[in-house]
Amino acid sequence: MKPHTAWIGLTALACLASALGQPAASTMTPPLAAPRPHSFTHHGLTIEDPWHWLRDPAYPKIKDKAILDYLKAENRYFEAHMKAQQPLVNTLFQELKGRVQEDDSTVPVKDGDWLYWSTFTEGSQYRRHYRRLANGGPDQLILDQNELAKGKEYFQLADLVISPDGKLMAYAYDDDGSERFEVHFRDLETGRELPDVIPGTLSSLVWSADSRGLVFGYANDNWRTDNIHYHRLGDDVKKAKQIYQEPDIGFSCDVDLSTQEDWIILGTGDQVTSEVRLIPTANPLAEPILVSPRKVGREYDVDVRDGVLYIHTNDEHVNFRIATASLEQPGVWTTLIPGSDRHYLTDIALFRDFFVTEGRIDGLDQIEIRHYDTPQVVEPIVFPESSYTAGLGVNAEYATERLRIDYESMVTPATDYDYHVAEKRLETLKVQQIPSGYDASQYVTERLMIPARDGVLVPVSLLMKKDFPRDGSRPLHLYAYGAYGHATPPDFSTSRLSLVDRGYAYALAHIRGGDDLGYQWYLDGKLQKRTNTFNDFVDVARGLIQRGYTAQGQISASGGSAGGELMGAVINQAPELFGAVVAHVAFVDVLNTMLDAELPLTPGEWPEWGNPITDKAAFEFIRSYSPYDQIRAQAYPPLLFTAGLNDPRVTYWEPAKMVAKLRALKTDTNLLLLKTNMGAGHGGKSGRYEHLHETAEEMAFILWQMKR
């Protein structure tokens, strides 16, 4: 019997079993995606890929019935096994929901004549957005996401921007998870929807100064923004005027607004190189001003104040510097704040009377105020804890005497502060409420430095109950991301409490690949150093065992996207360490994805992973760690993979191929599950309660498999 016919037979049996009533999970045969011969040769090496057929050639449309039948069979298998855990799922869901303030509201932000905020009401899945005049007046509902999401399986609001005159609103949303957004316009004085609708966008939105037009970018056929356009309200949207076209297939474009709202900042770049142009908001069709031509490996971003450019760049130091330039000579840069080996500069924000730098020292967030006439004099904002995460919140006004600050730690709920600059004083505006109760004094947080196999010390942040023993008797959950220079902050999470209250320690591994300890920390986890990321995670797990926080086999682990790649790599390298692993929308088919220049993100990803198409060394190195390619006949821990059918970032077939190959090769009898959201994308289901339910399912899987 041919493999394809055999697989269809298994699927038919699964469908028949479903029609006759779901069998007990223990008696169910796992879905089998039978291999089909497929191979390719590159750089003289032949690669066998018998589950290649799970990629639908019609993608981004998925039409192949055999593929859809397989994904549905896996979903039925997931549901059957989780059915017995439903009481635990329900308990966890109620715990998670009980920690959510159902009728919650953000702290209003002043922008010109108006105050803006959003709310959740009891039982609602999505936010309502409001405003009122700052000097008094009635609340005005300007957008209800619940109305827009009504009857839809998925909904995501991408952007909401008010015109400079305060009379119009542009907003963009996606209702299938594909991240191709549709822009709508609303007259805020009448509540009327304007006829202008712009489909297929993939960028931020910026209004022209006269409030009559919008600057944006379309998604091209490969889900890249290689263009910037201008639409004048009332004109045919199909005739929007192109402002810029990016020639490099690896670069993507986006737009932003300068601090004084007089310049459109048009940025284009990939993971390591950037280029910026400036366009006056008063004339979006004017010839863009190029700040400085792209140079491979140089990143920079720009803001403008009173005709002076402020440039944040890594051209002279790996941890970035701040430079200035004039509009007349935008490419001539003068250092304002030099780079530092210890102080990693991550951002700059300009205000009328002062500017703010953000960064990290030894991995700890720093917010520093400086004045234009004495930029070397630093006024740091001092926070009450020794370990925390903090950053600028929404600060909409250029002329301000106070700063909105977001703050939290692993034991302190999210807190909104206003920092009064002249008084150097923090004013608490809001602390995240936990209706079911939370006593911070019952928890402790620690920060460890654990040596990796090459001697480098890797930071680890931990949360646990204050009476947690260090005798190896307790389970521990370990999380990390470790890619793209995204740090893993030691932040607050109500969901972690459900594990910690059941005796777990919860650990965040600040592994290389993120920029937790500076930009070099990121560089040391990418390209030919990528395996440092995986080794760091494994070595942190072993270090936690050695220190008595847990024992071998008593570690659960999770990660998503590139963190899902991490999960795939560590279960291949050291499966014996883990008692359960959850890999969300896992980027596990790295070699095949990086070989496919037609996929949405691939060309822009080569600076991160390497280009195996042209570089044999990159080909061989990626193959050496790509989780899908490194699956072998060995015992694996219990595993749960998730996917999104409409996910444009990590395509559905990557987790599907990983699971299919694991089913064929793994030697254990541990549970292996795949759950594919058939109507969602990279972020899973939308809506705050749907998201909580998925979290509850994943925690139930961990507790079940860890026998806790």
The candidate with the shortest Cα–Cα distance to 708, out of 501, 538, 543, is 501
Q: Which tokens hold the place of 146?
A: 């619940």
Whole-number Å distance between alpha carbons of 590 and 622: 7
Distance of CA 503 to the CA centre of its chain: 28
DSSP annotation of 349 reads E
Residues 590 and 626 sit within 8 Å (Cβ to Cβ): yes
Half-sphere exposure of 556 (CA within 13 A, CB side): 28
486 carries an active-site annotation:
no
The candidate with the shortest Cα–Cα distance to 507, out of 549, 560, 467, is 549
561 carries an active-site annotation:
yes
Q: Which helix (H) or strand (E) holds 353?
A: none
- CA-to-CA separations, 399 to 114, 164, 207, 259, 356, in angstroms, rounded: 15, 16, 20, 10, 13
**CA pseudo-torsion sign 260, 266, 270, 275:** negative
**CA pseudo-torsion sign 92, 94, 100, 104:** positive
682 carries an active-site annotation:
yes
Whole-number Å distance between alpha carbons of 168 and 163: 5
Catalytic residue among 81, 312, 584, 682: 682
Whole-number Å distance between alpha carbons of 590 and 586: 10
Given strand 639-644, what is the order of strands in its sheet? 443-451, 457-465, 505-509, 476-479, 555-560, 578-584, 639-644, 672-677
Whole-number Å distance between alpha carbons of 482 and 484: 7
* C-beta contacts of 427-436 below 8 A and 24+ residues apart: 427/402, 429/107, 430/107, 432/101, 432/408, 432/492, 433/101, 433/104, 434/99, 434/101, 434/494, 435/98, 435/99, 435/100, 435/101, 435/102, 436/95, 436/98, 436/99
CB atoms within 10 A of CB 199: 12
Whole-number Å distance between alpha carbons of 515 and 145: 34
Please state the φ and ψ torsions of residue 45, each to the nearest 5 degrees.
Answer: -110, 135
Residues 572 and 632 sit within 8 Å (Cβ to Cβ): yes
3-state SS class at 610: coil
Catalytic residue among 561, 584, 686, 693: 561
Whole-number Å distance between alpha carbons of 322 and 303: 11
SS3 readout for 64-132: CHHHHHHHHHHHHHHHHHHHCCHHHHHHHHHHHHHCCCCCCECCCEEECCEEEEEECCCCCCCCEEEEE
Q: Which tokens hold the place of 138?
A: 């009635």
Positions annotated as catalytic residues are 561, 647, 682
